[in-house]
Chains A and B, each alone.
Chain A
Amino acid sequence: MTELTDLTIAEARDGLRGKSFTARELTQAHLDAIAAANAALNAYVLPTPERALEMAAASDARLGKGEGGSLEGIPLGIKDLFCTRDVRTTACSHILDGFTPPYESTVTANLWAEGAVMLGKLNNDEFAMGSSNETSFYGPVINPWRRSGSDAKLVPGGSSGGSSAAVAARLCMGATATDTGGSIRQPAAFTGTVGVKPTYGRCSRWGIVAFASSLDQAGPVARTVRDAAILLKAMASHDPKDTTSVDVAVPDFEAAVGKGVTGLTIGIPKEYRMPGMAPEIEALWQQGIAWLKDAGAKIKEVSLPHTKYALPSYYIVAPAEASSNLARYDGVRYGLREPGADVLSMYENTREAGFGAEVKRRILVGTYVLSAGYYDAYYLKAQKVRTLIKRDFDQAFEGVDAILTPTTPGPAFGLGEKSGDPVEMYLNDIFTVTVNMAGLPGISVPAGLSSEGTPLGLQLIGRAFDEETLFSAAQVIEHAAGPSAKPADWWSKAA
């Protein structure tokens, strides 16, 4: 029998309903894997085994009566950005030390309502600010993948690095994640997993620690396109508690998986062919085009002329909104407090001690661009550039159903390799950030291995609220790429 931790969500769902194993057995198998792996990978900042087994027992009771939701008994990992009732939630920041929410985020509440089991809280870049999971207060996550013939530690991508590493290493069947500039898709590409950033407004942001409110979206990381579709269906909802969540029907995304791409037109944006692009990324992209064409899609070149301005405008909008959102961490209502002679120095000392270097850098950039006299030159300008970026996509989607691009400019890099220069790190999001700026849905699907033997991903971008086409097209790539490779287990210690 296949190891329980190797099953997909779809397979486990059938196994649970067919009584091949119990939810407790499935959960225990994952808890054992976490206990053996976490010292090496650091994917979980807080495993919650007791709660997991309680939830699994409740699932077994429901399954025994022939009841249960779409995720009944499925063990998941939860990014530490999602507030979980009575379970510590810190966004992996020192400033939220010990914060234990008395409420549950809407997305996780939706998952529990469908019967999912929480294995624990997953590591991420501090406040989701990073592309390598190296800014977490709890230390970096290590990618389960290594370069061929090397034991150098690689990053799992970020900010959802705990989610991507845990899914790739079989420490959960799927995970929640969030994506502000690429934080779901880039880590998915670096770990050979599937990551979906839904349309802005598809999932409620209520109860998710805010980074940049006009860009943040929750989505799943999973091992297959079908599993990602199953998870997104459960996560998405209209929520009166988030006025930006959109009141549209949530389709049965799983039904789109397997529909193929016959009759669809896939756009190839010429501006994504960057000067100095790695030949293997170009080759991967061409391979993806060929696979879609072979499956019956028409291919058409499209132009997104404002692509190069997406990243610089993102680095105005995101820090500006972050500086405003993170003003709430003042040492008064929750988290860390450092004493000071008066209230002002208490604020300043608390924020000095509580925030890491990257978070401070972004708060300061945001404060600068929003300070008196600069608003028009920076924030307003960047919001106008967003209109141009969105217009590019609107025009492209008049002639195509989805757009295919690489997810990242290269494969997973080594720990510490890019942490010297902030702008160099930001360039990792060059292919993903346009999607957030325009509010569109995007998916990253594993498409092959690099010359270093590590995963590479392709990204599909869709029309607003048309995740279904992305699931259909991504499954074609997944199928053509063949059974996805699994990283060799070097991380488990004997229990």
Chain B
Amino acid sequence: MSVDRATVHRIARLARIAITDEEAARLETELSGILDWVAQLDELDTSAVEPMTRVAAVTMKKRKDEVTDGFCPDDIVKNAPKVDDHYFVVPKIVE
């Protein structure tokens, strides 16, 4: 197993997904299976290869640094589960 139970719990915490012990047991097998399978990439020597960063050799376009959108707070909060005026409301963070 390339991933143990403790690692599954640590990763789930980093990903902000609550998981049960049952799910952790299943994920331990599944994630190990996937990671063992991708380990075949180790057969390739890539020490002299540049990583691919873009598909076509084009320079990213830049636009003027000016406001082109915005001033629509109603739209922005429209889909939020909990809103007060134009604020998103979350559980208390600071005691």
Contact surface of A with B, Cβ cutoff 8 Å: 98-103, 199-201, 214, 240, 243-244, 246-247, 306, 308-309, 312-313, 315-316, 323, 327, 330-337, 339-349, 351-352, 355, 360-361, 363-365, 367-368, 371, 378, 380-388, 390, 421-423, 438-439, 464-465
Q: Given the interface contacts A100-B78, A336-B81, does A201 sit within 8 Å of B55 by beta carbon?
A: yes
- Does A315 contact B37, Cβ atoms closer than 8 Å? yes
Closest to A465 in B: B56
Q: Contacts A243-B60, A246-B56: A315 and B18 contacting too (C-beta < 8 A)?
A: no
Give the distance in Å from the alpha carbon of A315 to the alpha carbon of B39 in the complex.
11
Asked if B70 is an interface residue, CB under 8 A from chain A, the answer is: no
Contacts of B79 in A (CB 8 A): 98-101, 333-335
In contact, A364 and B8 (Cβ under 8 angstroms) = yes
Is B72 positioned at the interface, with any CB of A under 8 Å from its CB?
Answer: yes
Chain B contact residues: helix, strand, loop or mixed: loop
Complex partner residue of A438 from B38, B55, B91, CB under 8 angstroms: B55
B41 within 8 A of A: yes
Residues of B contacting A340 with CB < 8 Å?
A: 91
Size category of the B interface is: 35 or more
Interface residues in B71-95 by Cβ distance below 8 A to A read 72, 75, 78-82, 88, 90-93
A385 in complex: contacting residue of B44, B63, B91, CB < 8 Å: B44
The reply to whether B11 and A381 form a contact with Cβ atoms under 8 Å apart is no
B18 touches A352 (CB 8 A): yes
Question: Which residue of the partner chain B has the closest CB to A334?
Answer: B79
**Residue on B nearest A96 in the bound complex, by CB:** B79
Q: How far is the CB of A330 from chain B (nearest CB, A)?
A: 7
Top 5 A-B residue pairs of the complex, sorted by shortest distance between their CB atoms? A439-B55, A383-B51, A334-B79, A337-B81, A348-B18
Contact residues in A for B60 (Cβ distance below 8 Å): 243
Could you tell me the distance between the alpha carbons of A405 and B1 in the complex, rounded to whole angstroms?
36
User: Do B16 and A348 have beta carbons less than 8 Å apart?
Assistant: yes
B40, A312: Cβ atoms under 8 Å? yes
18 inter-chain pairs at a CB distance below 8 angstroms, sorted by A residue, are A246-B58, A247-B61, A323-B15, A327-B16, A332-B80, A332-B81, A334-B80, A348-B17, A351-B18, A352-B18, A360-B27, A361-B31, A364-B27, A367-B11, A368-B35, A423-B33, A438-B55, A439-B55
Q: Tell whether, in the assembled complex, residue A382 and residue B41 are in contact, meaning their CB atoms are under 8 Å apart.
A: yes
Cβ contact of A422, chosen from B11, B33, B52, B53, cutoff 8 A:
B33
Q: Given that A337-B81, A337-B82, A439-B56 are contacting pairs, would A343 and B90 also be in contact in the complex, using a CB cutoff of 8 Å?
A: yes
Cα A304 to Cα B39 with chains together (Å): 20
